[in-house]
Amino acid sequence: MEVTVGTAALALALLALPVLYERSGSFRFFCKMGFYNGWILLLALVAIPLCALRGRDVENMKIIRGLMQHVKHLYGIRMAVRGAQHFPPRQPYVVVSNHQSSLDLLGMMEVLPDRCVPIAKRELLYMGAVGVVCWLGGIIFIDRKRTHDAISVMAEAAHTMLSQDVRVWVFPEGTRNHSGSMLPFKRGAFHLAVQAQVPVVPIVISSYQHFYSKQERRFTAGQCVIQVLPPLPTRGLGPADVPALTERVRAAMLEAFEALSAELCPTAPPPAPQ
Ligand SMILES: CCCCCCCCCCCCCC(=O)SCCNC(=O)CCNC(=O)[C@H](O)C(C)(C)COP(=O)(O)OP(=O)(O)OC[C@H]1O[C@@H](n2cnc3c(N)ncnc32)[C@H](O)[C@@H]1OP(=O)(O)O
Ligand SMILES: CCCCCCCC/C=C\CCCCCCCC(=O)OC[C@@H](O)COP(=O)(O)O
């Protein structure tokens, strides 16, 4: 008897889920984000044996990129890449891009050049299978709480970029930022480019605000533009030029970000100045 009551309660609860999903935006948001994380975890489990054949190698980023590219379709996110011709064809460079949320992974995988690895916070290493895949893909980890260590890892990266023909992707805001604008940029990426004497390639991912908002628990289908801006050379620049370079890149990115926001979501109010 108890079993039947339990089963009936469970069946009722299961039947209620689609109704809840239909009626409650928050529930839908959590389901979608939960599935996003769970799906990536599952993809990571698929990626591990494939990547392990090579060991830790930046070429594994091609496998990771290939495995991730369908995810946007599951969420009805249409992505368009503009300015891909700006990627320098055969040389190392530092990509810098804005960082709004973990959805940036989709935009990143849409344009990630060959032999390009992200710089990521160390905590990602401890995310089970995802951490293992990041390690196998050659992702460079930094401990953000230890500036000195982070800087020496970046200095090592400058050397690796040149000796092993590797490109690096950095989120210069240093953390995710949902504000609808851009945080001040940290200078690590620009020091890295100047130390290696390689160009900086800015990439702007358009605002998610019209289809995704963590605060409002809103996540619908939508459109996202990924714009590659013209590279900035650093040949001949030294450490004293880094602050001006940083500001120049940020200004160009902010201008492109605001133009994209106005184009994709003309009714939204402009973000508060920072
Ligand atoms: C299939 C399954 C798939 C799964 C796939 C998963 C893919 C995952 C994708 C992962 C995506 C994950 C994405 C993520 O995880 S994003 C989070 C991690 N990323 C970052 O934080 C990157 C950006 N951060 C920086 O660049 C910071 O500057 C660092 C971290 C380096 C230090 O920050 P910190 O806050 O500690 O200090 P500070 O910025 O005040 O700097 C202090 C001083 O040092 C100077 N300085 C800085 N750097 C250098 C240098 N190199 N040489 C010489 N000097 C340097 C600097 O100018 C300043 O001096 P001054 O200018 O004030 O005089
Ligand atoms: C044994 C432990 C098992 C744990 C399992 C955890 C499962 C998690 C599964 C998938 C997570 C997929 C998310 C991929 C990472 C997205 C990259 C990202 O956006 O990193 C955040 C970082 O840029 C800024 O971090 P903060 O805003 O400073 O914070």
State residue 23's pLDDT score.
84
3-state SS assignment for residue 222: strand
Specify the residue with its C-alpha closest to ligand 1, atom 33: 147
| Distance from the alpha carbon of residue 142 to the mean position of ligand 1, in angstroms | 7
State residue 73's pLDDT score.
98
Q: Is the pLDDT of residue 114 over 80?
A: yes
Mean pLDDT of 5-24: 87
Q: What is the mean pLDDT of the chain?
A: 94
Residue type, 184: P
Structure tokens at 2: 């108890």
State residue 87's pLDDT score.
98
Specify the residue with its C-alpha closest to ligand 2, atom 11: 37
Q: Is the pLDDT of residue 113 over 90?
A: yes
State residue 268's pLDDT score.
63
Q: Is the pLDDT of residue 202 over 80?
A: yes
Least reliable range by pLDDT among 117-121, 175-179, 227-231:
175-179
* Residue 64: half-sphere exposure toward Cβ, Cα within 13 Å: 35
| Distance from the alpha carbon of residue 263 to the mean position of ligand 1, in angstroms | 31
Confidence category of residue 5, pLDDT binned at 50, 70, 90: confident
Mean pLDDT of 225-243: 98
Q: Give yes or no for a contact between 229 and 257, defined as CB atoms under 8 angstroms apart.
A: no
State residue 105's pLDDT score.
97
Which range, 7-11, 117-121, 174-178, 266-270, is most confident?
117-121
Instruction: Give the residue carrying structure tokens 């939508």.
Output: 222
Specify the residue with its C-alpha closest to ligand 1, atom 25: 188
User: In this predicted model, what pLDDT tens digit does every residue of 15-74 receive, in sequence order?
Assistant: 888 888 888 888 999 999 999 999 999 999 999 999 999 999 999 999 999 999 999 999
- What ligand is nearest to the CA atom of residue 126? 2
Least reliable range by pLDDT among 101-115, 121-135, 164-178, 259-273:
259-273
| Distance from the alpha carbon of residue 120 to the mean position of ligand 1, in angstroms | 8
| Distance from the alpha carbon of residue 189 to the mean position of ligand 1, in angstroms | 7
Least reliable range by pLDDT among 2-6, 66-70, 216-220, 241-245:
2-6
Specify the residue with its C-alpha closest to ligand 1, atom 10: 120
| Distance from the alpha carbon of residue 233 to the mean position of ligand 2, in angstroms | 32
Specify the residue with its C-alpha closest to ligand 1, atom 27: 188
Specify the residue with its C-alpha closest to ligand 1, atom 60: 187
* Distances from the Cα of 66 to the Cα of 60, 106, 144, angstroms: 10, 11, 29
Residue type, 269: P
User: In this predicted model, what pLDDT tens digit does every residue of 142-190 receive, in sequence order?
Assistant: 999 999 999 999 999 999 999 999 999 999 999 999 888 899 999 999 9
d(CA 40, CA 27): 20
State residue 17's pLDDT score.
87
Structure tokens at 259: 């133009």
Around ligand 1, the residues with Cβ closer than 6 Å are 40, 43-44, 47, 64, 67-68, 105, 118-121, 130, 133-134, 142, 144, 147, 150-151, 154-155, 170-172, 174-175, 186-189, 191-192
State residue 31's pLDDT score.
94
Specify the residue with its C-alpha closest to ligand 2, atom 20: 102
Does this model's pTM top 0.90? yes
Confidence category of residue 274, pLDDT binned at 50, 70, 90: low
| Distance from the alpha carbon of residue 5 to the mean position of ligand 1, in angstroms | 56
Mean pLDDT of 204-224: 94
State residue 270's pLDDT score.
60
d(CA 186, CA 239): 14
Q: Give yes or no for a contact between 138 and 61, defined as CB atoms under 8 angstroms apart.
A: yes
Nearest to 173 by CA among 163, 184, 188, 181: 184
